[in-house]
Structure 1
Amino acid sequence: MTTLKLLRRRRFLPLFTTQLLNAFNDNLYKTAMVLFVVYFVYNSEAAEGLFSAVASGLFILPFFVLSALAGQLADMRDKASIIRKVKFCEIGLMIIGASGLYLAWRGYDLPVSIPLGFMTIDTTFPIVLMLFALFLTGVQSTFLGPIKYAILPQHLQEDEVLAGTGLVEAGTYVAILAGTILAGWIPVEIAAAGIILTSMIGYISARQVPPAPPLGDVEKIDLNIIRASIKLVRNTMHDAQVYYAILAISFFWTIGAVLFIQFPPLAKNVIMASKEVASVFLVVFSVGVAIGSVTINHLLKGTVSARYSPVSVIAMGAFVVAFYVVCKMWQADQPTELLNVAEFIAWPMATVLLLCLLGISVAGGMFVVPLYAFLTTRVATSQASRTIAANNIVNSGAMVGGSLMAMALTAAGIPIAEQLLLSAGMCLISAWLGKRLHNAELTEQAAIA
């Protein structure tokens, strides 16, 4: 089987391991931080929802600002060298994040006010430190993002690319699963030590990635990030299949961003569940995306196609609506105290709630994985990193917009549960874009025939 053979190859395994450790560490830190603040610092649904939205926005913002530069560097410099440098810097940023976690755990309390235009957030210095580290984590991921997919066609055979993409995607979500589980169950001070240790192991793994020198002509790097971003997106969008793939991926991750913003405060205030149950929510979501990633690769049999994308994301929207309905039914018989995992599982409708969440994530994984393969197989290998970077710019802009929308809805007093319907509505737009992508695919096939 191609997938299993790839795991035995040095041209793939170190990259896979490095990406897995990176996703694990990001989510161990991010989830530990959000759960600690939501459950032990703030005590209102509005404040918790706002913090979750701010944290998501800060993590995503670097993708919007720096992806053009990251894409140029990935195509004009050795990709393996960039991976090693970025992973070395991760050690420092995780020390900053661990310091914030430790100070918050020790109860260090220095008030800080952060103006955000239409509102002001009152917080403390440890939380500011944690958010700063989260922003730097976003910067790190921005520079690794174009590489993790674009390096695959350089190291893999053409018939291995889809399997490699699916494996990276599935491995990423298994790592997210592991990091999310640990963040919900281990003490925050242990998480602080764990993120530093994992960053060191990740750097050792990164040093084993084989060289991936630039392909084609090496051009001068444009350091004007605004001009470079506009040029990058404009130059990428001329291909209809890449154009619709990027737009569809953007709406998908906007939906994902809004859902992840909602889960921790929804678990605490609507489901009345402990932070361990909140981590179970995120775990089920991650497992489902991994299942969807592997399933779609099996259905397509190695062929890059958007054939199943429209129906997959429509199914995702239907499961979101079902999840909302179950939440409303849950509120009609809401617990009076936070449930632990055993109590949650025993509560009526808990199984249905988890199945709805699993359905959302499986359908989402089936939708998005083939779209990433479009970005690396429909362009020249020398342009792959910049295509991924252009995708990241559009994705992150849409996700930041989704975070701001969630913040505005929370500030306007709209309950977290009601905001789920926004995600369901956006699935219809993604389905339309997926259909347009499949039509463009069929048009090109007819032209070739």
Structure 2
Amino acid sequence: MQNSVHLLKTRRFLPLFATQFCGALNDNLFRTSMVMLVIYGIYRDATQEATFSAIAGALFILPFFLLSALAGQLADERDKARIVRIVKSAEIAIMLVGAAGLLLQSVPLLLAALLAMGVHSTFFGPIKYAILPQHLEEGEVLAGTGLVEAGTYIGIIGGTLLGGVLVLQRPDGSFHAEWAAGAVLLVALIGRVSGHFVPPAPPAPDAPPFHFDWHIIRASRTLVSNTLHIPRLFLAIIAISFFWAMGAVLTAQFIPLVKNALGADQSVATLFLAVFSVGVAIGSVAINRLLGGHVSAKYSPAAAIAMGLFVLDLFRRVHGWPAPDETLRDLGAFVAMPNGWMIVFDLLGVAIAGGMFVVPLYAFLTTTVPKSETARTIAANNIVNSGMMVAATLILTVAVQMGVTVADSLLIVAVASLPAAWLGWKLHRACD
């Protein structure tokens, strides 16, 4: 088995890794800064805060649903490295708007920048996986996919921590985000520089020609239909979609859960997001070691069941948590509480199992189809993923409005782990 770390020393992988790392870092630096500023500094109502968090998540996901077909076609038709450079240049302009929103504490500007970052990620998303079979050997693709996934979540960790730290509280109790505004611009610039060094990845010379369809709805329907009629791809994509739907519910509610169910401040919310990201990164690298570089869904069913069990234990502990005080607990007070560390452990377990579940499925998508179709396959996956994520966040929003507590929403995730495990088992039976 190839040691995945050796890829980080190569020109064919390192610039892409650094570019996608900066993208993940900036996405989460901006999103965490925005959510911390709005929930702790602007809004003062639990229902309003949970609704905003869910809507922000759905708004970021929406471009994946609408534009992934165009992104996939573009990536398969053009040089992927050139698209990377265009997309990273656009990120600088988007972050100028985002920085203005942070400085002015303008919710419309913040949401506009968030939507634009969703568009940015939509066009970059197919490339970061589809480019791997072009630059890596067959036995390196799983390792490369694991590193990309781990790097993404390390970026999430860094962005989450920075977003939580750089939104500061003044002596009068108000919040400000000048440092966060400067940081999102700096990271965007670094990402553009690293993107410049991604090696060329033109379309395969023997790739069959295809007609570029600019009609968003028709192109999306055709792309998904052409992909999902292949049984193994169908199972992999639906399984991945369940994972992201569960993740959307969890991450959308982390900060409201911390504030309103656990009575803790933003330092604990930052810890939760960071622990979740660390866990996925650990699982993403560990599964490559377990599988020995072989692309397989062997461990996916057990990983999905483990996710559900950890979420159920998290639900149990949150429901047994003392009622929040008027003063929010800081990190030290939270971990000193009975079961404080066990809640953190449950989150870590959910995340590690999640990384082990999803990484082989992404590697399967990029190695099952011809290299000339990988970006469109990832794009079809993104359309279905985003549709289920939007559906999950809308269901969550309606449930919150009907009086379902943030803690109770954890049960949605636990129940969803069962069909995810069944899909993983079906894929394992079909392919291994």
TM-score greater than 0.5 by the shorter chain: yes
Aligned to 2:26: 25
Which string of whole-angstrom CA distances, capped at 9 and with x for unpartnered residues, describes residues 136-178 of structure 1?
Answer: 0000000001100000000000011000000010011011001
Q: Secondary structure at the match of 1:286?
A: helix
1:239 aligns with 2:230: yes
1:97 aligns with 2:98: yes
Please, which of 176, 185, 197 is the counterpart of residue 186 of structure 2? 197
1:169 aligns with 2:149: yes
- 1:82 Cα deviation (Å)? 0.3
Amino acid at match of 2:371: T
Matches within 5 A, 1:343-382: 343-382=333-372
Aligned to 1:251: 242
CA distance in 1, matches of 2:419, 2:211: 38
TM-score by length of 1: 0.92
After superposing the two structures, state which structure 1 stretch, 427-436 or 20-29, moved more: 427-436
**Contact 2:67–2:216, Cα closer than 8 Å, also in 1:** yes
Which string of whole-angstrom CA distances, capped at 9 and with x for unpartnered residues, describes residues 232-283 of structure 1?
Answer: 0111113222110000000110000000111100100111111111010000
Over the matched positions of the two proteins, sequence identity in percent amounts to 55
CA distance in 2, matches of 1:218, 1:77: 12
CA distance in 2, matches of 1:196, 1:431: 41
**Contact 1:162–1:304, Cα closer than 8 Å, also in 2:** yes
Matches within 5 A, 1:26-425: 26-104=27-105, 126-187=106-167, 188-215=177-204, 216-331=207-322, 334-425=324-415
Aligned to 1:429: 419
Amino acid at match of 1:185: V
Amino acid at match of 1:26: D
Aligned to 1:447: none
**Contact 2:260–2:324, Cα closer than 8 Å, also in 1:** no
CA distance in 2, matches of 1:4, 1:407: 41
Q: Secondary structure at the match of 2:409?
A: helix
CA distance in 1, matches of 2:157, 2:31: 12
* Unmatched 5+ stretches in structure 1: 105-125, 443-449
- 1:336 Cα deviation (Å)? 4.0
After superposing the two structures, state which structure 1 stretch, 339-348 or 73-82, moved more: 339-348
Q: Secondary structure at the match of 1:417?
A: coil
Which string of whole-angstrom CA distances, capped at 9 and with x for unpartnered residues, describes residues 69-105 of structure 1?
Answer: 000000000000000000000000000011011001x
CA distance in 2, matches of 1:72, 1:35: 36
**Contact 1:28–1:191, Cα closer than 8 Å, also in 2:** yes
Amino acid at match of 1:155: H
CA distance in 1, matches of 2:359, 2:5: 18
Q: Secondary structure at the match of 2:320?
A: helix
CA distance in 2, matches of 1:324, 1:38: 23
Amino acid at match of 1:3: S
- 1:203 Cα deviation (Å)? 0.5
RMSD between aligned residues: 0.9
Amino acid at match of 1:258: V
TM-score by length of 2: 0.96
- Please identify runs of 4+ aligned residues in structure 1 that moved more than 6 A: none
Q: Secondary structure at the match of 1:396?
A: helix
* Unmatched 5+ stretches in structure 2: 168-176
Q: Secondary structure at the match of 2:142?
A: helix
Which string of whole-angstrom CA distances, capped at 9 and with x for unpartnered residues, describes residues 379-398 of structure 1?
Answer: 11110000000000000000
Amino acid at match of 1:306: A
CA distance in 1, matches of 2:364, 2:139: 14
CA distance in 2, matches of 1:190, 1:85: 26
1:13 aligns with 2:3: no
CA distance in 2, matches of 1:376, 1:281: 31
Amino acid at match of 2:265: S
- 1:339 Cα deviation (Å)? 1.0
**Contact 1:241–1:374, Cα closer than 8 Å, also in 2:** no
